[in-house]
Amino acid sequence: MSIPTGPAVPVETREHYLNVNYGVKSWLLTTDHKRIALLYLASITLFFFVGGFFAVLIRLELLTPPGDLFQAETYNKLFTMHGVMMIFFFLIPSIPAVLGNFLVPMMIGARDLAFPRLNLLSWYIYIVGGLFTFGAVVAGGVDTGWTFYTPYSSTYSNGNVIAAGIGIFITGFSSILTGLNFIVTIHTMRAPGLTWFRLPLFIWAHYATSLIMILGTPVVAITLVLLVLERGFHIGIFDPALGGDPVLFQHLFWFYSHPAVYIMILPGMGVISELISCFSRKYVFGYHFVAFSSLPIAVISFLVWGHHMFVSSQSVYAGMIFSILSFLVAIPSAIKVFNWTATLYKGSISYQAPMLYAFGFIGLFTIGGLTGLFLAALGLDIHVHDTYFVVAHFHYIMVGGAVMAYLGGIHFWWPKITGRLYPEAWARFSALVIFIGFNLTFFPQFILGYLGMPRRYHAYPDEFQVLNVMSSAGASILGVGYLIPMIYLIWSLRYGAVAGANPWGATGLEWQTPSPPPTENFKETPIVTEEPYHYSIREIKVV
């Protein structure tokens, strides 16, 4: 596919959302969904590198068998802060708050989200929550693990559990507001003619994600409130001394935190549907199935939390039911993977960087998903529970899946967001580096876990060293892979080729308006008259 260069008119002469006004105030008080998306982009990138910094320290410690670099307590704090930063402050907001904020109104032909001021408020809430958590780190850290299990977190831990708990509690409301905004916007603000089955799959995925955000997040919020009340004011809900049940905390925590996994992966699936379709120039095979499969994923995600508690004194019958329900999640997930593959069949495939990320996603998500079936099996889970097998599994989903999709999406829509093209050769190169680095980091951890290395220890027996060195080496490659896009994307803001309205020849309303878009997105509200992903027809016009 050839990339048509943009119109001869320089970008700066036309008024768009970036040059409509200048100054710090015009950004910090903006209600434009596109600017808020960029505020989120900057802040989650910061948290990504903070979380990544803790990961570097973890991999350094694990280079050698004895616990020589850090003491056990320090190591506990490192993996806790890595988990808290990456999950609550990077992965959960990543695709919805950046790409979703930018694209949901544009894809449905609206001028903004339904509640622009709530949208800005959600960013401020996110920042305040981030400051609390950051304060907890600076004041000495938290050592409970990102799961905050009682009674350790409520009674015995010496870390700053209260500050971190309040920080995560506050941040939860930014996620609730984002989800609420998306649902209302998708229901009430679609352009004329844009029926539900003409919606891009990105929108369907974000709708399902938003359902989980509004139904799950309040539960973890109240759970953290009860934890903070117990630790701070001796209101004993989970205290065994009063007859309270610490396992109740685990139930309430995972009732949110398992669906939260789908908050992280579902928007990624939406991105992948767009990428696969665009770069194979085909209608998404089984559009209705891919669209609807997001909803069973959202529903079943609320019924599987018990698979985190197979060894926490849960009744064996409950365990069996949770096991079966967990297996069921594989069906809608597989529907998506098979339909993407079928979309590729006889497609006119081109290997642009976003497509490389999409390929990476499909492969790594499949490995991550299949190893999830191992963990959903009652007997096998007892062998690999709390080992590196689990760590490898969820990193294949979260990093191999969600982060790959996020980067693919950032590259794909970068020309729309900034009006500039990124350097293609560098982008392909870094996608490859990330793929290699990722597999070298996390594949050995499957083997480590299967051989019995437990997670969350700072020392290990000598026989595990080779695999751990491989993992640490992979992590350094992965780190380089993440730094390269940082550099060339910033470079492209000034030196990148001018993109034009639709550099990929893609369908979708967001490509029918100039890049960068004007503040109100469209000069006049578009009217939709055809199905989505009409590539075979459009290609003639573009090329």
Partner 1 sequence: MSETHSALAHHFDTIEQQREAASLGMWIFLVTEIMFFGGMFTAYIVYRTAYPDAFAEGSHHLNIVLGGINTSVLIGSSLTMALAVHGSQVGHRKMLIGFLILTILLGTVFLVIKYFEYADKFAHHLVPGHSFSFSGSRPQNAQLFFSLYFAMTGMHALHMVIGLAILTVLVVQATRGRFTPEYHAPVELTGLYWHFVDIIWIFLFPLLYLIDRYAH
Query: Where along the sequence are the contacts to partner 1 (CB under 8 A)?
Result: 110-116, 176, 180-181, 183-185, 187-189, 214-219, 221-223, 225-226, 229, 233-237, 241-245, 248, 251-252, 520, 525
Phi/psi for 347 (5° steps) reads -80, 165
* Helix 201-233 vs helix 246-279: crossing angle, to nearest 10: 160
Name residue 37's beta-bridge partners.
none
* Helix 246-279 vs helix 353-376: crossing angle, to nearest 10: 150
Q: What b-and-e string marks burial along 389-415, b requiring 16 or more CB atoms within 10 Å of the CB?
A: bbbbbbbbbbbbbbbbbbbbbbbbbbb
Complex with partner 1: residue 255 or 460, whichever CB lies closer: 255
Cβ 411 vs Cβ 361: under 8 Å: no
Cβ 151 vs Cβ 246: under 8 Å: yes
Least CB distance from residue 229 to partner 1, whole Å?
A: 6
Least CB distance from residue 320 to partner 1, whole Å?
A: 21
Least CB distance from residue 528 to partner 1, whole Å?
A: 15
* Cβ neighbours around 466 below 10 Å, total: 11
425: amino acid identity, one letter: A
Complex with partner 1: residue 50 or 215, whichever CB lies closer: 215
Of 363, 445, 364, 444, the residue nearest 397 (C-alpha): 364
Complex with partner 1: residue 225 or 299, whichever CB lies closer: 225
Complex with partner 1: residue 63 or 247, whichever CB lies closer: 247
484: amino acid identity, one letter: I
Complex with partner 1: residue 184 or 470, whichever CB lies closer: 184
Least CB distance from residue 212 to partner 1, whole Å?
A: 11
Least CB distance from residue 515 to partner 1, whole Å?
A: 20
Least CB distance from residue 215 to partner 1, whole Å?
A: 6
Complex with partner 1: residue 144 or 521, whichever CB lies closer: 521
Complex with partner 1: residue 187 or 456, whichever CB lies closer: 187
Cβ 421 vs Cβ 496: under 8 Å: yes
Cis peptide before 516 (omega within 30 of 0): yes
Least CB distance from residue 251 to partner 1, whole Å?
A: 8
Least CB distance from residue 348 to partner 1, whole Å?
A: 38
259: amino acid identity, one letter: P
Complex with partner 1: residue 180 or 265, whichever CB lies closer: 180
Cβ 487 vs Cβ 422: under 8 Å: no
Of 2, 22, 42, 253, the residue nearest 149 (C-alpha): 253
Q: How many helices (H) and strands (E) does the chain have?
A: 19, 0
Least CB distance from residue 206 to partner 1, whole Å?
A: 15
Complex with partner 1: residue 219 or 297, whichever CB lies closer: 219
Complex with partner 1: residue 211 or 272, whichever CB lies closer: 211
C-alpha to C-alpha distance for 155 and 417, rounded to whole angstroms: 48
Name residue 387's beta-bridge partners.
454
* Helix 404-418 vs helix 33-61: crossing angle, to nearest 10: 140
Complex with partner 1: residue 176 or 266, whichever CB lies closer: 176
Complex with partner 1: residue 184 or 469, whichever CB lies closer: 184
Least CB distance from residue 308 to partner 1, whole Å?
A: 17
Torsion (CA) 49, 52, 53, 56 in degrees, nearest 10 = -150
Least CB distance from residue 322 to partner 1, whole Å?
A: 17
Least CB distance from residue 89 to partner 1, whole Å?
A: 20
Cβ 514 vs Cβ 181: under 8 Å: no
Of 268, 412, 270, 265, the residue nearest 353 (C-alpha): 412
Unique residue bearing structure tokens 């669906």 = 259
CA-based torsion, 85, 91, 92, 97: positive or negative: positive
Q: What is the DSSP letter of 384?
A: H
